[in-house]
A and B are shown apart, each in its own frame.
Chain A
Amino acid sequence: SQTIHQWPATLVQPVGSPLSLECTVEGTSNPNLYWYRQAAGRGLQLLFYSVGIGQISSEVPQNLSASRPQDRQFILSSKKLLLSDSGFYLCAWSQEDQPQHFGDGTRLSIL
């Protein structure tokens, strides 16, 4: 069966520091991959999605970037974090007309 892993589960970072969040999927090949951000008590904001290795689409202009160095690996990065980057970051995968499946998220706090 397919599984999705995100790490770390929680992260506290100072303003101006870099960021790297990782997501990997197991048990499938060539998945569509997604990064979402969820502010406290709010809905899901799509940040990036990828349909294949090296292919990244950005949904909103921001301080973050994404990369897909391998088929089942999706990375969310920043060179310099802002206070507004705080939130709950979720990675998800899907294939063709199947539902999205989410990881358990990373709670990011910027101090």
Chain B
Amino acid sequence: GENVEQHPSTLSVQEGDSAVIKCTYSDSASNYFPWYKQELGKGPQLIIDIRSNVGEKKDQRIAVTLNKTAKHFSLHITETQPEDSAVYFCAASILKGNFNKFYFGSGTKLNVKP
């Protein structure tokens, strides 16, 4: 089955700096890659996603890149703010019929220091 690895497990940056979180996946059939932000005591919230036919996607301060050949995708947050502090999860999904199974990374705890 699919295996998603995420690094680093913790990341501390100064406010205004950039943060990069990296994930790799093993199954070349994976075709959808969402990123989630989880704040303390809450469920993960989707922040950005990318499909396998796209190499990069940007939404304001957040961007995601995908390298299908290397089976690698990354989350980039620019001009970080204290409210960006949270746990971030990457995921890879394989669509089979009308059902998609999601495989999650182990999470990155991002701390943005004011």
Contacts and interface: CB of A to CB of B under 8 A. Distances in A.
Interface of A: 6, 32, 34, 41-44, 46, 49, 51, 90, 92, 94-105, 107
A96 B97 CA distance: 7
B44 A102 contact: yes
Interface of B: 31-32, 34, 36, 41-46, 49, 89, 91, 93, 95, 98-102, 104-107, 109
Contacts, number: 57
Contacts of B41: 105, 107
Given A94-B100, A96-B98, A100-B34, A42 B107 contact: yes
A97 B107 contact: no
Contact of B43 (A95, A97, A98, A104): A104
Contact of A49 (B34, B49, B101): B101
A32 B104 contact: no
Q: Which of A6, A90, A92, A102 has the most CB of B within 10 A?
A: A102
A41 B109 CA distance: 9
